[in-house]
Amino acid sequence: MREVSKAITALSTLGDYIVSKPTELHEIIQIAYQHNGWFSPDNCWRALFAIANDYLNEEKLASFASSYQIPTSNPKTVGLILAGNLPLVSFHDILCVLLSGHNAQIKLSSKDDKLTRAILMKLGQLSENFNKQIEIVDRLSDYDAVIATGSDNSVRYFEQYFGNYPNIIRGNRTSLAVLTGSETKVDYQNLGKDVFYYYGLGCRNVTFLLVPTGFNFEPLLNGFAAYENTLNNQKYKNNFDYNLTLFLINTVPHLQGDAIILSEEESLHSRIAVLHYKEYKTKDDLNNFIIKHNKDLQVVVGKEFTPFGQAQEPTLSDFADHVDTMAFLSKL
């Protein structure tokens, strides 16, 4: 377990580095934002601090690692095809590969090749072992297993191309919130974090509401008003304006908030700046809906589920698509 201990120490040192907010990291974030207009400095720092606090805490890492039989010899090469919809969205996969002692052969997303590359380079500087374990490539080759994340269209390609190797392949998921009508203004403001953070681009973002019949949307929209500055991002505002125009031209019933449009739709996945909702009559109705769509859901938010405002705060054990990455890696 000595090598695991060294890995934990190096990872926690990265956390300290992030929290110190060094000048070089500010500069990298500006470059990332210029490259990808969705990667606003606020969202980059939000992602970095979440990683530092929830993933790179030494005690949390030690407790997490102790739950697995981590191999001490015969490391494998794990190909990682990273997503790029959010800043450092695939960092958890990288962490798991490094913590398990395997080698990470990494294909970066073109949308997030600035910030993630910089963090990987920093890891290599912090640990000689990590420097040997990490390889950034344009194309995967000579790998023993694959973890790939992409769109549902990409999944079909991944399954065909990597199907003969041990793999974890992830497609599109999203999250929903269950409302009862008894929520407070603070509840709605916290729900706004789940909806608006990262501009709604992540699988942990709430894109769908289950509301009781006759639900009053006014308090919800009043709570969401706290996020009207989301429109300061030009890319988000362009989507808001475009979708609002479509609703108006096509006379589609909708509710307009300061930075969001609500539409009654069956689809869990909504367009940027749009939030879908569906009414339910009984608790059985909403439970049956959740069960029916479970394979498409990452998080369910609500008073009896993940608390409002915490969808974007996964712990080390909150695995994407609910597939235990460390268990997969430990058995290679």
Residues 291-323: tens digit of each pLDDT: 999 999 999 999 999 999 999 999 999 999 999
> Residue 72's pLDDT is what?
76
How far is residue 159's CA from residue 92's CA, in Å, rounded to a whole number?
21
- Tell me which amino acid residue 85 is: N
List the single range of 152-156, 286-290, 310-314 with lowest mean pLDDT.
152-156
pTM for this predicted structure? 0.95
Return the CATH superfamily for domain 174-301: Aldehyde Dehydrogenase; Chain A, domain 2 (3.40.309.10)
How far is residue 106's CA from residue 246's CA, in Å, rounded to a whole number?
40
Confidence of residue 3 (pLDDT cuts 50, 70, 90): confident
Q: Which distant-in-sequence residues (6+ apart) come within 8 Å of 279 by Cβ?
A: 210, 211, 212, 213, 214, 215, 264
Confidence of residue 2 (pLDDT cuts 50, 70, 90): low
Mean pLDDT confidence for 229-242:
98
Query: Model confidence over 178-216: pLDDT tens digits?
Result: 999 999 999 999 999 999 999 999 999 999 999 999 999
> Residue 23's pLDDT is what?
97
> Residue 285's pLDDT is what?
95
Instruction: Order across the sheet with 77-81: list the strands.
Output: 134-136, 103-107, 77-81, 145-149, 167-170
Q: Is the dihedral of CA 238, 243, 244, 245 positive or negative?
A: positive
Tokens of 44: 């980059």
pLDDT above 80 (res 168): yes
**H or E stretch at 126:** helix 115-126
Percent of the chain with pLDDT over 90: 94
Percent of the chain with pLDDT over 70: 99
Domain layout of the chain by residue ranges: 2-170, 174-301
> Residue 70's pLDDT is what?
85
- Tell me which amino acid residue 233 is: N
> Residue 1's pLDDT is what?
53
Return the CATH superfamily for domain 2-170: Aldehyde Dehydrogenase; Chain A, domain 1 (3.40.605.10)
Q: Which of 288, 116, 272 is nearest to 195 (CA)?
A: 272
Residue whose token pair is 């030494």: 58
Query: Model confidence over 26-68: pLDDT tens digits?
Result: 999 999 999 999 999 999 999 999 999 999 999 999 999 999 9
Confidence of residue 153 (pLDDT cuts 50, 70, 90): confident
**H or E stretch at 149:** strand 145-149
**Are 149 and 170 spatial neighbours (Cβ–Cβ below 8 Å)?**
yes
Mean pLDDT confidence for 249-272:
97
How far is residue 281's CA from residue 260's CA, in Å, rounded to a whole number?
25
| End-to-end Cα distance, the chain | 17
Mean pLDDT confidence for 102-130:
97
- For residue 300, CA distances in Å to 4, 102, 290 come to 33, 33, 8
> Residue 71's pLDDT is what?
79
